[in-house]
């Protein structure tokens, strides 16, 4: 049953399987295991980035396409929810209209980009997508009548998803259930379903063709596959899943602006997570997202503790100052690439193959 649920793509490494089980259980029980606003925000962000990174890996790791327009579709999803809820009010129909409109726009844009640009070589396609993403971010900032401009849009969700909603008077496992926790579990269910759908896609005959194109597109074309069609479909599917991840972000934040979902920094984070977790492995999205976002969120706190603990030692407190957390994050990334050149998942699976 589990094998079919995972589309016959098992971890194939005992340690990897244990890590994945621990991550899923931790995310499933996060509101009860890690109380506090910050911890819940980090867990929700991990769920969102798992979908976003897995969607990008479908494009980069499985098809071999380098695109910088991924955050554009992410932003379209977030703006779809924000604009619909701002115009239509706090209703489920607004969420449905916003999600549907965002998916339709992403479908049309990704199809246009795919048909017009995927015939060019890798670096030129990457530059085209970068230009399109930059233009869209500028457009979102200037169309203030619809997008709120640089200030963005704040909106309200249906009553059951609002933080003030408390269906029970008593606590459950020491936590009072409210609309925030209900929203978290909505994101959790959506993330699981979308991840399993992506896992099914990459392990289907369609996914095998994408991997063949990644390895040698001329050979794939020679044996009868329309490479442009498959690359375009991969681009469209990746865009649609990224759009849904953007919808998840808007649901959680109840706000969206250009820097929230369209920032190029998000694109860089996605690339780093793919490299850390392992390209061409959907499970890499889980491990990479957890490692990167936890380090990004708590590295400053750890450095602050280290700074205070070494205050009597010369020079060391200056190195461990919390203001230099980006430096240490870069060091951790370099070390992860050095020791895990194929990502955490790739390294663990390669170790199992050597033992076999």
Question: Average pLDDT, stretch 212-226?
Answer: 85
CB-based contact 290:23 (threshold 8 Å): yes
In the chain, the domains with their CATH numbers are 2-263 (1.10.3470)
Beta bridge partners of 172: 175
pLDDT tens for residues 330-339? 888 888 878 7
**CA 89 vs CA 84, 97, 158, 331: distances in Å:** 8, 12, 9, 46
pLDDT tens for residues 174-187? 788 888 999 999 99
pLDDT reading at 121 higher than 90: no
pLDDT value at residue 79: 94
Q: What is the rounded CA–CA span in Å between residue 102 and residue 203?
A: 27
CB-based contact 251:158 (threshold 8 Å): no
pLDDT value at residue 40: 92
Q: What is the rounded CA–CA span in Å between residue 43 and residue 50?
A: 11
pLDDT reading at 279 higher than 80: yes
Report DSSP state, residue 159.
Answer: G
> What is the overall mean pLDDT for the chain?
87
Label residue 117 by pLDDT band (50, 70, 90).
Answer: low
117-126, 218-227, 318-327: segment of lowest average pLDDT: 117-126
- For the chain, the straight-line distance linking the first and the last C-alpha, in angstroms and rounded, comes to 25
Give pTM, 2 decimals. 0.93
Residue from 95, 314, 288 nearest 183 by CA: 95
Q: What is the rounded CA–CA span in Å between residue 217 and residue 261?
A: 33
pLDDT value at residue 120: 64
pLDDT tens for residues 40-88? 999 999 999 999 999 999 998 888 888 888 899 999 999 999 999 998 8
The C-alpha angle 13, 298, 346, rounded to 5 degrees, equals 20
pLDDT reading at 356 higher than 70: no
**CA 116 vs CA 64, 76, 139, 326: distances in Å:** 18, 20, 21, 38
Q: What is the rounded CA–CA span in Å between residue 128 and residue 216?
A: 23
**CA 69 vs CA 82, 150, 333: distances in Å:** 20, 20, 23
Q: For 154, list phi and psi in degrees, rounded to 5.
A: -105, 140
pLDDT value at residue 68: 87
Question: Average pLDDT, stretch 286-292?
Answer: 92
DSSP 10-43: ---SHHHHHHHHHHHHHHHTHHHHS-SHHHHHHH
Helix axes 37-60, 282-309, angle to 10 degrees: 140
Q: What is the rounded CA–CA span in Å between residue 21 and residue 286?
A: 11
**CA 99 vs CA 138, 234, 286, 293, 315: distances in Å:** 22, 20, 24, 26, 53
**Interacting residues of 352 by C-beta distance below 8 A, sequence separation 6+:** 12, 13, 14
The helices-and-strands tally (H runs, E runs) of the chain is 18, 2
């Amino acid at each position: 049953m589990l094998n079919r649920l995972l589309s016959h793509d098992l971890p194939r490494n005992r340690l990897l399987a244990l890590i994945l089980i621990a991550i899923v259980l931790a995310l499933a029980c996060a509101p009860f295991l890690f109380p506090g606003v910050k911890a819940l925000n980090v867990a929700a962000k991990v769920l969102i980035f798992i979908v976003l990174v897995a969607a990008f890996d479908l494009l980069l790791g499985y098809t071999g396409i380098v695109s910088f327009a991924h955050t554009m579709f992410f932003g379209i999803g977030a703006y779809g929810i924000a604009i619909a809820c701002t115009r239509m009010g706090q209703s489920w129909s607004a969420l449905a209209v916003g999600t549907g409109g965002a998916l339709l726009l992403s479908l049309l844009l990704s199809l246009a980009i795919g048909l017009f640009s995927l015939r060019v070589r890798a670096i030129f396609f990457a530059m085209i997508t970068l230009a399109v993403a930059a233009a869209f971010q500028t457009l979102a900032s200037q169309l203030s009548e619809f997008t709120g401009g640089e200030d963005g849009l704040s909106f309200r969700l249906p009553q059951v998803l609002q933080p003030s909603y408390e269906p029970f008077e008593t606590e459950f496992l020491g936590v009072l259930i409210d609309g925030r926790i209900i929203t978290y579990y909505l994101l959790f269910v959506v993330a699981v379903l979308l991840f399993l759908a992506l896992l099914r896609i990459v392990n289907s005959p369609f996914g095998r063709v994408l991997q063949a194109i990644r390895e040698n597109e001329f050979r794939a074309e020679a044996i009868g596959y329309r490479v442009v069609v498959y690359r375009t479909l991969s681009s469209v599917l990746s865009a649609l899943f990224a759009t849904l991840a953007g919808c998840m972000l808007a649901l959680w934040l109840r706000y969206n602006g250009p820097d929230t979902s369209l920032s190029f920094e998000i694109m860089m984070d996605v690339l780093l997570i793919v490299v850390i977790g392992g390209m061409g492995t959907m499970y890499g999205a889980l491990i990479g997202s957890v490692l990167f976002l936890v380090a990004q969120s708590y590295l400053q706190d750890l450095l602050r503790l280290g700074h205070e603990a070494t205050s009597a030692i010369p020079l060391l407190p200056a190195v461990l100052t919390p203001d230099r957390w980006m430096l240490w994050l870069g060091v951790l990334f370099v070390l992860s690439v050095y020791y895990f050149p194929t990502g955490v998942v790739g390294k663990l699976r390669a170790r199992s193959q050597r033992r076999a």
